Chains A and B, each alone.
Chain A
Amino acid sequence: MDTPAISTTNLTRRFGDFVAVDSINLRVTPGQFFGFLGPNGAGKSTTIKMLTGLLAPSAGRMEILGLDLASHSLEVKQHIGVVPEGMALFGRLTGPEYLNFAGRMYGLNRETAAKRTTELLEFMQLDREPGKLITDYSHGMQKKLALAAAVIHGPKILFLDEPFEGVDAIASGTLKAMLQRMILRGATIFLTSHVLEIVERLCSHLAIIHQGKLVAQGSLEELRSGVQAMPADQHLAGAQPEKLTLEEIFLRIVGGARSEDQELSWLT
């Protein structure tokens, strides 16, 4: 049996009395494009922060590539790339300076870091304005740069927190091309996103977290089968079970019914 790329056992995070992540058991096998979904405040970002070392868990165990994250954090970090919620960019560096910096922080020698920086800037179409400070980049450019920095050392696992948020179609296409290329080469990608269409198109496996608890996990087909077994409600009435989109599956699982009775009469 393969060592899972990512596995968690009863992973829990509390903020005072509030349980943000409640005993979740995740299992991501190597080579999977794994989508981690959930409504706002469900615990997605908290989970990804714990998995990448940005946040300490209150309880539970995390293993990345078979290594315990708590006791082997440096070894684990050498093999992962992360685009966290804030993108971890140093605004007063230029793009090339930041990528060079990131490469060397991941242990690349000067020449390799410089060479990969040039290649990544070209691939991401960020090579037109090498003197521009990151703080002056557009949001899409910053996302591309953050992704470039996360992959400069050729990580085995890539953690992406909302990589497509605020990104235009052109930048989004570039990001997707890079991610698919990585999957083809055997990397594992763990992604959170609210853009369910993209997740549906890219991800082979999914997990859904709701109110801190893991409520579903498996391939899209497995989730679809699970939903078919549930009693139909009015929102999905008429939909053919075998053609349920990820959005429909998601709404069915998390119960995202919206009241249309209320009307904001003052809103023009």
Chain B
Amino acid sequence: MADVAPTGVPLALPDAGMQLRTIALLRWQIFKNSLRTMRGRLEAVSWIFVGFWFVALGLGGAFGIAVGSWWMVSHNRSDLLAALFWPIFIFWICFPLVATAFTEVFDSSNLLRYPLRYSSFFLVNLIYGSLDGGTVVGLLWLIGAVLGISIAQPSSTPWAVLALAIFGAANIFLVRALFSWIERWLAQRKTREIMGIIFFLIIIGFQFIGPLTQRAHRQHFQLPAYISQAILIQKFLPPGLVAGALGGSVRADWLSAAGSLLLLSAYAGVFCLLFHIRLRGLYAGESFSESVSREKVSMEKAETQSGWALPGLSGQLAAIMEKEARYLSRSGPMLFALIMPIVVLLLFHMGGNPNRPNAVAHNPNLAFPIGAAYCLLLLTNLIYNNFGADGMGVQFFFVAPVKMRSVIIAKNLIHGGVLALEMCLVFAATYFMYGSPAPAVVSATFVGVLFAIPLDFAVGNLLSLYSPKKYDYGAFGRQRAPGLTVLASFGVQAVTIGIAIVVVLVARHYGSLWLATIVFAALALAAWALYQAVLGRIDGIALSKRESLIATIAKTG
């Protein structure tokens, strides 16, 4: 600890290393303290299980990549290395975006009250922001590649380590930059709307791909021409560049290797710069609000609009549903998550092989159920943590004359409504991109969801009370669910999908998919009975768990 400076003499900034160690110690202390409670211990055990799966995925993939890279280098096929690095790159970038439950962006804004150097602030954001499953798996896969190349050609080891380290750094910077910029764009209505418009223009643009491809085929265009162009372009992108750098070193073509590495380093630098620009703004105290700007505020005193009136529902239910809908509509990250099923369908469609019409890419009868299942998966963040975004407001539900059963029903209704809307969007996307799915498939999918959703609601309602976690609808990628919730939701999804597969196989065995609809309808009745049984006990559970719920959700900071 530095000596105290005499009055009037400015104190020197604290040592950055000491500050970083202090922050690490703080995080460790917070973790240790969390183990004092049973919930904290369960949470830790859950994350150990989840971590085990990530490590298994990482090690399994690393082994495959090691074998692949060894084979390519030892058989003089280093030109194929890009085929290994592109999947790594895509996984690394896309995984945090499509699976935000496993992703956490460290909210370092609280640290700004202390005399923290910008370099420390940058490092803290980089290091803690990178502690997610995608990065761990990606790094393990890169280690696999290093091992494979080193075994095949030991002299290439230093170069491989250098090239893959730069590639890893570029990926980490890119993910962090993407997260921070998307969060920035989603923070305000105006930029969010621009993003939405761009997204839908892209969607509409892709509608022309099918007809254009067909026309190209009619005009005897050669598809390999596109592929050769793509191969040429990919050489100038990070995965292609790292493959080029490694391939060059294996062939002793050092000029090519150094050029690729230089360009790869430039990419890493640009991604780092993009991340730095956002962090610099945050460091300077930049804050974006959802509110209308001060200049635009009307000074006229307007009459308050009456709230929602929903036929057949009480005023309380309508009020809670209105509140939930407003929360969702103001959350850019949530809206972003809700369009992801369409993005996934789009990616499948683009990545498909036209010579395999039964693959997901060209089969609406596969694409629609998969899209629907993904919708359900994305909603787990909401369904399994009903109160997460309520903040201090969660207290209101306990001081107002309302049964927790009503609150939960209202939340389930709005989430069910979102799912219904999503299903319709997925259907429309499937119809336009893939063609019309068979009526029996549409029916089985919708009734299958009617079976799955009450199960999710029943378990989700319980976990919302037993394992709540505060999260911020306004922050992109800070929606990491509690470990227990992740495990439980995975369990429910696994059981649901397993049952669905068995039902569909049985229906196919008997030659009619309509049979699946009937079986799903029967299962849906049982699932709804379970949902009702849970609802019947929810008031008592909520009362018994209110203290921990309020303490967790309404906590500040």
Spell out A's residues near B (CB within 8 Å): 52-56, 74-75, 77-78, 80, 82, 84, 86-93, 96-97, 99-102, 104-111, 113-115, 117-118, 121-122, 127-133, 135-136, 149, 266, 268
B290 engages A118 (CB within 8 Å): no
B550: chain A residues at CB < 8 Å are 54
Query: Please, which residue of chain B has its CB at the minimum distance from the CB of A78?
Result: B401
A92 engages B330 (CB within 8 Å): yes
B297: chain A residues at CB < 8 Å are 128-129, 131-132
A121: chain B residues at CB < 8 Å are 304
Spell out B's residues near A (CB within 8 Å): 4, 7, 289-292, 294, 297-299, 301-307, 309, 315-316, 318-320, 322-323, 326-327, 330-331, 389-396, 398-403, 473-474, 543-544, 546-547, 550, 554, 556
B305: chain A residues at CB < 8 Å are 96, 100, 114
For the complex, what is the distance from the CA of A92 to the CA of B394, rounded to whole Å? 13
A122 engages B307 (CB within 8 Å): no
How many cross-chain pairs have Cβ atoms below 8 Å apart between A and B?
148
B327 engages A101 (CB within 8 Å): no
- Given A86-B392, A106-B400, A92 contacting B304 (CB threshold 8 A): no
Other than the given A86-B554, A90-B327, A107-B315, 16 more pairs (CB < 8 A) read A52-B398, A52-B399, A54-B398, A55-B546, A55-B547, A90-B391, A97-B323, A97-B326, A100-B319, A101-B320, A102-B400, A105-B316, A106-B401, A110-B315, A114-B307, A135-B290
Query: Which one of A86, A101, A122 lies within 8 Å of B323 (CB-CB)?
Result: A101
Least Cβ–Cβ distance between B93 and chain A, in angstroms: 29
Query: Which one of B315, B396, B556 lies within 8 Å of A88 (CB-CB)?
Result: B396
Query: Please, which residue of chain A has its CB at the minimum distance from the CB of B299?
Result: A128
Query: Which one of A92, A97, A110 lies within 8 Å of B473 (CB-CB)?
Result: A92
B394: chain A residues at CB < 8 Å are 88
Query: Please, which residue of chain B has its CB at the minimum distance from the CB of A127?
Result: B301
For the complex, what is the distance from the CA of A78 to the CA of B291, rounded to whole Å? 32
A86 engages B395 (CB within 8 Å): yes
- Given A101-B323, A105-B316, A110 contacting B396 (CB threshold 8 A): no
For the complex, what is the distance from the CA of A2 to the CA of B203, rounded to whole Å? 70
B399: chain A residues at CB < 8 Å are 52-54, 77, 80, 82, 84, 88
B396 engages A102 (CB within 8 Å): yes
Query: Please, which residue of chain A has its CB at the minimum distance from the CB of B402?
Result: A105
Interface of B is mostly: loop
Query: Which one of A77, A89, A136 lies within 8 Å of B400 (CB-CB)?
Result: A77
Provide 6 A-B residue pairs closer than 8 Å at the C-beta atoms, listed in order of the A residue.
A89-B391, A92-B290, A99-B304, A101-B322, A114-B303, A132-B297
For the complex, what is the distance from the CA of A105 to the CA of B393, rounded to whole Å? 13
Least Cβ–Cβ distance between B376 and chain A, in angstroms: 25
Query: Which one of A80, A87, A105 lies within 8 Å of B392 (CB-CB)?
Result: A87
B318 engages A105 (CB within 8 Å): no
- Given A129-B297, A133-B289, A133-B291, A92 contacting B307 (CB threshold 8 A): no
A110: chain B residues at CB < 8 Å are 306-307, 309, 315
- Given A128-B297, A131-B297, A93 contacting B326 (CB threshold 8 A): yes
Least Cβ–Cβ distance between B387 and chain A, in angstroms: 11
- Given A88-B392, A97-B326, A74 contacting B316 (CB threshold 8 A): no
B307 engages A101 (CB within 8 Å): yes
Query: Which one of B303, B323, B389, B391 lies within 8 Å of A118 (CB-CB)?
Result: B303
Least Cβ–Cβ distance between B135 and chain A, in angstroms: 30
For the complex, what is the distance from the CA of A128 to the CA of B395, rounded to whole Å? 27
A53: chain B residues at CB < 8 Å are 398-399
For the complex, what is the distance from the CA of A86 to the CA of B298, rounded to whole Å? 30
B315: chain A residues at CB < 8 Å are 104, 107-110
Least Cβ–Cβ distance between A45 and chain B, in angstroms: 12
For the complex, what is the distance from the CA of A133 to the CA of B330, rounded to whole Å? 10
B393 engages A132 (CB within 8 Å): no
- Given A92-B330, A101-B323, A131-B292, A74 contacting B393 (CB threshold 8 A): no
Query: Please, which residue of chain B has its CB at the minimum distance from the CB of A81?
Result: B399
Query: Please, which residue of chain B has its CB at the minimum distance from the CB of A87?
Result: B392
For the complex, what is the distance from the CA of A105 to the CA of B307, rounded to whole Å? 11
Least Cβ–Cβ distance between B472 and chain A, in angstroms: 9
For the complex, what is the distance from the CA of A104 to the CA of B314, rounded to whole Å? 10
B393 engages A90 (CB within 8 Å): yes
A136 engages B289 (CB within 8 Å): yes
For the complex, what is the distance from the CA of A161 to the CA of B327, rounded to whole Å? 27
For the complex, what is the distance from the CA of A74 to the CA of B404, rounded to whole Å? 11
A56 engages B546 (CB within 8 Å): yes
A55: chain B residues at CB < 8 Å are 546-547
B319 engages A105 (CB within 8 Å): yes
- Given A77-B400, A82-B399, A109-B315, A118 contacting B304 (CB threshold 8 A): yes
B304 engages A96 (CB within 8 Å): yes
B307 engages A113 (CB within 8 Å): yes
A128: chain B residues at CB < 8 Å are 297, 299
A108: chain B residues at CB < 8 Å are 315
Least Cβ–Cβ distance between A22 and chain B, in angstroms: 19
